[in-house]
Structure 1
Amino acid sequence: MDRRESLKTLVMGGMASSLFLSSCVTDKESPVEEGDVIEENESYGRTPAEEERDEELHSKTFFSEGEMATIAILSDIIIPEDDDSVTATETGVPEFIEFIVKDMPEHQIPIRGGLMWLKRESNKRFDKSFTEISEENQLEIIDHIAYPKDFEKDSPGPIFFTNVKELVVTGYFTSEPGFKYLDYRGNTPNVWDGVPAHILEKHGMEYDQDFLKIAMDPTNRNEVMNWDNYEV
């Protein structure tokens, strides 16, 4: 699977998974209770009740070591290391996936069932579990379920791979290396220096130069304008 050719599809999959994962917010009663207080700069956008629940989920284990090893291999096949980024496992994607299935139990059976299917498929083809076969053989199986024929798209393997792919993409591109890979800068402030001159000229308008000195001075951008002594 070529990373450069597949990333566009993977990012779109991540968009789909944002809807997939949003059910944990829309389908559950809000954990925020009356009297909850969020201390400024002490949280990453979570209430105390939510942080307590996160800690509880992190303390539990769902996947076995073998299942986590399989998830790690799948993650790095979907997003491997290249000149511009690290592997998915280096960003904590397997741990992210385990957290999600603990947070959203309805996904535990489909993901675990898919891992069991993958193990059986590997044994059927190569007489070894997925974690024990060569990288070439692993890719043979993954290529088959990642690019299925039309009549196979609704079979267990392709459905499982689609779900895992969405989780991997979501986990990766919400990590710090993922942000850097996309060159995502968030709400980065910039400097607006007014309407371009050619647009003003087109409409027969121009700025008052005295006004520009006051209103368009980047050094004063954080100050509240006082118009009391300014005459238009």
Structure 2
Amino acid sequence: MDRRKSLKSIVLGSVAGGLAIHGCRPSTEGTELVEAPKVTYPGRVPQELEHIAELRDEQFLNPHEQETLTILCDLILPPSEEYKGASDADVVGFIEFMAKDVETLQPDIRGGLMWLDHKSNTEHGTEFKKATERQQKGILDGIAYYDPKVPGNERPFEVNFFSLVRNLTMTGFYTSKIGMEEIGYKGNQPNVWDGVPDDVLEQHGVSYDEEWLAKCVDQSKRGVIAEWDENGNLIT
């Protein structure tokens, strides 16, 4: 199994152990924050839409953290000639949203990004995002693997941080449109089903009552795809 296929098998499990501190929101004075792309949420109830709007108005990661996290996510899931990468699916935007929705993730994410800069400054004299790719990968090699026999709360913080970001990267990418297209996931799509195939019915000497079928299946609406407006109301 190659690396890309093995990454696809990773699912979002338990999050990394939390720190015994509370993260502080970064100061945004004098900086321009990157606005998340506008997304519609079909099928959501008003309460969900209100909560999403509140989260979108908040900002967790500052520009430096966004840049560092972008580099980290692309090292975890890099693009290639055949596949898209983490940035193509705005994985950082997904992680930003998740951190605002699940605030217990914030200390781990912010603390981990600070750790990367400290490690890079100590070993290479520059912050993580400005280090060479080889230097960046060298740092990650030391935290990318852990002993599964060691409980999460007993592992080094930086190891849990990388595990958390790796899981969020995989989840953000493979639940995006381009990620689902990559693995060929079709989801719940309308199709045409005529019941048990005729050859099977013949094998058992039975058949459908055409009058009964006509009452149970509205043939005029077969294959119609449901649509919602921007407020989550069903159109068709």
**Fold similarity call, TM over 0.5:** yes
For 1:198 and 1:47, the matched residues in 2 are separated by 44
For 1:143 and 1:5, the matched residues in 2 are separated by 19
Q: What is the match of residue 172 of structure 2?
A: 171
Structure showing greater relative contact order (alpha-carbon pairs closer than 8 Å, 6 or more residues apart):
2
TM-score by length of 2: 0.68
Q: Post-superposition shift, 1:177?
A: 0.8
Q: Post-superposition shift, 1:94?
A: 0.8
Amino acid aligned to 1:88: A
Q: What is the match of residue 32 of structure 1?
A: none
Larger Rg: 1
Amino acid aligned to 1:170: T
Q: What is the match of residue 63 of structure 2?
A: 65
1:212/1:48 CA distance change after superposition, 3 Å: closer
Count of residues in correspondence between the two structures: 192
RMSD: 3.1
Q: What is the match of residue 192 of structure 1?
A: 193
Q: Residue 44 of structure 1 aligns to a residue in which SS?
A: coil
Instruction: Identify, as 1 or 2, the structure richer in helix.
Output: 1
Match of 1:93 among 68, 91, 98: 91
TM-score by length of 1: 0.69
Match of 2:126 among 115, 119, 128: 128
In structure 2, the gaps of 5 or more residues are 16-39, 223-236
Q: What is the match of residue 162 of structure 1?
A: 163
Q: Post-superposition shift, 1:220?
A: 3.6
Q: Post-superposition shift, 1:180?
A: 0.9
Match of 2:49 among 31, 48, 51: 51
CA contact (8 A) 2:120 2:128 kept: yes
Alignment of 1:133-144 (within 5 A): 133-144=131-142
For 1:136 and 1:155, the matched residues in 2 are separated by 23
Amino acid aligned to 2:205: M
1:132/1:186 CA distance change after superposition, 3 Å: same
For 1:169 and 1:201, the matched residues in 2 are separated by 47
CA deviations on 1:181-216 (whole Å, 9 max, x unpaired) are 1211111233334445665566x53547xx579959
Q: Post-superposition shift, 1:95?
A: 1.4
Q: Percent identity?
A: 37
1:9/1:146 CA distance change after superposition, 3 Å: farther
Amino acid aligned to 1:55: A
Q: Post-superposition shift, 1:147?
A: 2.1
